[in-house]
């Protein structure tokens, strides 16, 4: 991890960003199928552009999802509900091309007569936690996500009624001796109705930026709001969207490593998703237990194999106990086989659409089981602290 004095930046998106629209559609379809059949196998991809949404992928299920209806419902709920936007839930065309999961993949994942579920793919997944915030997340991504959420709140509640759904945020933190000191810069790009730019900048500063960031700002903090001066044309009209294209803002904002696999539209047998959730769960509990100030977990799997090929724990020199103690505690208290992770995190539930905007981590919602610190006390006790 970085040490000394430096600047670090993370970005986030509102739920109306084209890529986030796609993530939410894919996860809404997943939720509908898991609600009907918890053992549904889903790998659902979405693309949106000017006037259309395309849903494709592989699905094997006993349930049924009215894809057209779900797509239109999600887009309307996000806020694309006016023809003036050039992309709205009533007039867009919805194309669907879905087929069953490959039997070559299924035979490696199905339980059958075996005692364990095999991983749905090969790959590596990373989870991270640190003491920078109360959520045990890096500060730049937490502030960027909070700004994105605040933009959504003031739009939906009509506090700033002329805002539109598409938007991005960015926060640069100045670190001193490896610890966050202040905000160097805040960037907000938010779609809007035709309106005076000075008015927009004033209201967004007052009602979005300051409520989220004021504690860490000073007279030298730079604030950029719609820096090009206009953002009326936005959403899928201005930029096509695709599921799984915002994996860094979905996770830790560029801090730590990433296995490269996206989450949205994938059922829990896909270790890209479940392994990353478990890695976060482990790292967060280690840090919450006081066993380290920073922790990164990497897991790796082979398709069809129930157990991880490797487990890596990196505490960046901040560990309070020997590394071999951490490995023993992780292997004792966390289920790392594919089926065990699903069970321990209770993932066969329709909880996934809410993960698809404002980050998968650092949001301590009841359904986000990977954010619990329920293992921290026992880890600390057994570590002898």
Residue in 240, 307, 333, 348 annotated catalytic: 240
Answer yes or no: 81 catalytic.
no
323 is catalytic: no
Answer yes or no: 58 catalytic.
yes
**DSSP collapsed to 3 states, 250-302:** CCCCCCCCCCCCCCCCECCCCHHHHHHHHHHHHHHHHHHCCCCCEEEEEEEEC
Q: What's the 3-state SS for 115-169?
A: CCCCCCCCEEEEEEEECCCCCCCCHHHHHHHHHHHHHHHHHHCCCCCCEEEEEEE
Distance from C-alpha of 153 to C-alpha of 158, rounded to nearest angstrom? 8
Establish how many alpha carbons lie within 13 A of residue 192's alpha carbon, considering only the half-sphere containing its beta carbon: 24
273 CA to centre of own chain? 10
Q: Among this protein's residues, is 358 annotated catalytic? A: no
Identify which of 174, 146, 142 has the alpha carbon closest to the alpha carbon of residue 2. Answer: 174
CA separation for the pair 293, 78 (Å, rounded)? 37
Q: 245, 273, 284, 294: which one is catalytic? A: 245
Which member of 8, 11, 12, 17 is catalytic? 17
From 72, 149, 155, 266, the catalytic residue: 266
Annotation says 168 is catalytic? yes
Active-site residue flag, 307: no
Q: Which of 15, 19, 88, 337 is catalytic?
A: 19
Q: Which residues contact 286 (CB under 8 A, 6 or more apart)?
A: 129, 292, 295, 313, 315, 326, 330, 379
∠356-133-160 over CA atoms, to 5°?
55
- Which entry of 128, 136, 231, 352 is annotated as an active-site residue? 231
Active site residue 157: no
Annotated active-site residue 77? The verdict is no
Among the listed residues 81, 239, 367, 382, the single catalytic one is: 239
SS3 (DSSP) at 188: strand
Q: Which of 15, 166, 250, 272 is catalytic?
A: 272
Residue 207 is given by DSSP the state I
Per annotation, catalytic residue among 149, 246, 284, 294: 246
Indicate which residue of 168, 280, 294, 380 is catalytic: 168
Record the tokens describing residue 351, joined without a space. Answer: 């909880």
170 vs 192: CA distance, rounded Å: 18
Instruction: Give bridge partners of residue 6 from the DSSP assignment.
Output: 175
Buried b / exposed e over 252-275, threshold 16 CB at 10 Å, is bbebbbbbebbbbbbbbbbbbbbb
Q: Residue 181 is encoded by which pair of tokens?
A: 């000191």
Whether 19 is a known active-site residue: answer yes
Active-site annotation holder among 58, 110, 135, 203: 58
Cα–Cα distances (Å) from 223 to 165, 170, 180, 210, in that order, read 21, 10, 18, 10
Choosing from 11, 20, 87, 184, the catalytic residue is: 20
246 is catalytic: yes
Which residue is catalytic, options 11, 45, 166, 314? Answer: 45
Is residue 266 flagged as an active site residue? yes
Q: Is 272 a catalytic residue?
A: yes
Decide: 201 and 225 in contact? Cβ < 8 Å.
yes
**Catalytic amino acids?**
17, 19-20, 45, 58, 168, 231, 239-240, 245-246, 266, 270, 272
């Amino acid at each position: 991890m970085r040490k000394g004095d430096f600047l670090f930046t993370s970005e986030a998106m509102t739920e109306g960003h084209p890529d986030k629209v796609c993530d939410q559609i894919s996860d809404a379809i997943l939720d509908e199928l898991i609600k009907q059949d918890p053992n549904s196998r889903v790998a659902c991809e979405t693309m949106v552009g000017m006037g259309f949404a395309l849903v494709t992928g592989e699905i094997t299920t006993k349930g049924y999802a009215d894809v057209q209806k779900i797509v239109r419902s999600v887009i309307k709920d996000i806020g694309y509900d006016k023809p003036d936007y050039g992309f709205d839930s009533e007039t867009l065309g919805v194309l669907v091309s879905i087929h069953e999961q490959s039997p070559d993949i299924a035979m490696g994942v199905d339980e059958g007569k075996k005692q364990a579920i095999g991983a749905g793919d090969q790959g590596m997944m990373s989870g991270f936690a640190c003491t920078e915030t109360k959520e045990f997340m890096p500060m730049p991504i937490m502030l960027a996500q909070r700004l994105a959420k605040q933009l959504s709140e003031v739009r939906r509640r009509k506090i700033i009624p002329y805002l539109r759904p598409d938007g991005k945020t960015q926060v640069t933190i100045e670190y001193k001796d490896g610890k966050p000191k202040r905000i160097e810069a805040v960037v907000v790009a938010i779609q809007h109705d035709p309106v005076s730019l000075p008015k927009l900048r004033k209201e967004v500063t007052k009602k979005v930026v300051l409520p989220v960031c004021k504690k860490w700002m000073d007279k030298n903090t730079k604030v950029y709001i719609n820096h090009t001066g206009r953002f009326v044309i936005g959403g899928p009209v201005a930029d096509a969207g695709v599921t799984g294209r915002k994996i860094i803002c979905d996770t830790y904002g560029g801090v730590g490593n990433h296995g490269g696999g996206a989450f949205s539209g994938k059922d829990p047998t896909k270790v890209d998703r479940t392994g990353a959730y478990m890695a976060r769960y482990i790292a967060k509990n280690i840090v919450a237990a006081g066993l380290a100030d920073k922790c990164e977990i990497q897991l790796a799997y082979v398709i069809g194999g129930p157990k991880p090929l490797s487990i890596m724990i990196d505490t960046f020199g901040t560990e309070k106990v020997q590394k071999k103690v951490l490995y023993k505690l992780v292997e004792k208290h966390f289920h790392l086989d594919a089926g065990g992770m699903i069970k321990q995190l209770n993932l066969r539930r329709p909880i996934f659409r809410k993960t698809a905007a404002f980050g998968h981590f650092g949001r301590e919602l009841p359904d986000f089981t990977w954010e619990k610190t329920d293992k921290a006390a026992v880890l600390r006790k057994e570590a002898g602290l």
